[in-house]
Amino acid sequence: MNLHDQLLEKFAAQYGGAPDVIAYAPGRIEVLGNHTDYNEGFVLSAAIQHGTFFAIRKSAGDMCRVTAGDLMKEDVFAPANPGRTAVNTWANYVRGVLHGINGAAGPAPSCFDALFLGDIPLGSGLSSSAALEMSAGLAIARLFGHVFQPVELAKIGQAAEHHFAGCKCGLLDQLSSLHGRAGHLLKTDFRTLEVDNTVKVGDACFLMCDTHAKHALVDGEYNRRRQACEDAAAYFAGALPHPVTALRDVGVAEFDARKAGLDPVTAKRASHPVNENARVLEAADALARGDLATLGRLMFLSHESSRADFENSCPELDAVVDAAKNIPGVLGARLSGGGFGGSAVVLTKPENAGAASAALASKYAETFGKPCEIRAIRPSDGARVCHDAR
């Protein structure tokens, strides 16, 4: 039974009958552009073929009910003031989205019953949280007759992360989920929030290697990295002769010439997004020429920067990337997402994907005594309302 049919079956079992609206939103891979989004830089990403369905219908009750379909656990809250919960923490993403929609369009005019179900492994670095936020946002908005532009909905999801889940993320995950296009990468400018989904991926295959090393970005490490970037931008605003509002405004040569004015840890942290931004622009130019080898080389450089400067890697991710360097047919590899665990993305070609996957899995098991899960990822279409029975 496919995921959509499982959703309908679980909804009927939990609430009786069928939903009014079903929305779907995919997860994403970050191909290049690690921690450049909140530094107002560029990112290459893609929506993927794994995602989350969110089914919803209006109810006559006085409370909203949302069920996590994998756990079959229900969370209950008031529609006008959903608030945070310390019990069913997964529900904070939905509560936060409803809070944002209420703020943008007025309090929900009625209650609802909802259930969501996805196939994105939690903690794998494929952004299951954004998929939940965007599917919930699309479904709730359609149910109550609201229309939001993609950037507006992305910001509602981001605010849910910030204020309800406790992670000060950028907009990469939400925009990637909304703007995905099959067979293409997304080049997003996080200053203007313009998304170019015309970057053809060419003859490439992406392998996502889930290390099962659990990351928890809300533990403060992500937020500390972001604060270091903001501190560095403030320093360069006073040290350079041109305006600097974010690290996107600092060129590599400028950074190298003035970084001695920063404390050593802040300098290391800031080095990563400054150089990463330059790598994204170089990679986009290379892909326009069909040059996958250059993309791969830049991916390896990106991971080394994550490991040495930003220090958001981990032994499991390093092992995948180090193994990838010695496997024939692999062009590049790096961690994907916030880091500190989760998945690595490996670039190869379709004809080499099977052998590369087997070699990576074998090497990982040899090192850690357990396998990593490897799946081929296809750049796929973005979020959408896929059913409206009203």
By annotation, the residues acting in catalysis are 173
Nearest to 201 by CA among 352, 377, 338, 382: 377
Inter-residue contact 378 to 49 (CB < 8 Å) = yes
CB atoms within 10 A of CB 151: 17
Extract the tokens encoding 262. 């920063």
Nearest to 36 by CA among 314, 298, 259, 257: 298
Sheet holding 205-210, edge to edge: 332-336, 343-348, 205-210, 373-377
Task: Give, in order, the Cα–Cα distances in Å from 178 to each of 78, 216, 388.
Answer: 28, 24, 19
Helix (H) or strand (E) holding 117: strand 111-118
The DSSP code for 201 is -
Residue with tokens 């270091």: 228
The angle that helices 172-179 and 150-160 make with each other, rounded to 10 degrees, is 140
Helices (H) and strands (E) in the chain, counts: 11, 12
Query: What span, in angstroms and rounded, lies between the C-alpha atoms of 27 and 47?
Result: 6
Task: Give, in order, the Cα–Cα distances in Å from 367 to each of 278, 362, 370.
Answer: 33, 9, 8
Inter-residue contact 211 to 21 (CB < 8 Å) = no
Query: What span, in angstroms and rounded, lies between the C-alpha atoms of 167 and 79?
Result: 23
Query: What span, in angstroms and rounded, lies between the C-alpha atoms of 26 and 40?
Result: 23
Query: What span, in angstroms and rounded, lies between the C-alpha atoms of 83 and 109?
Result: 17
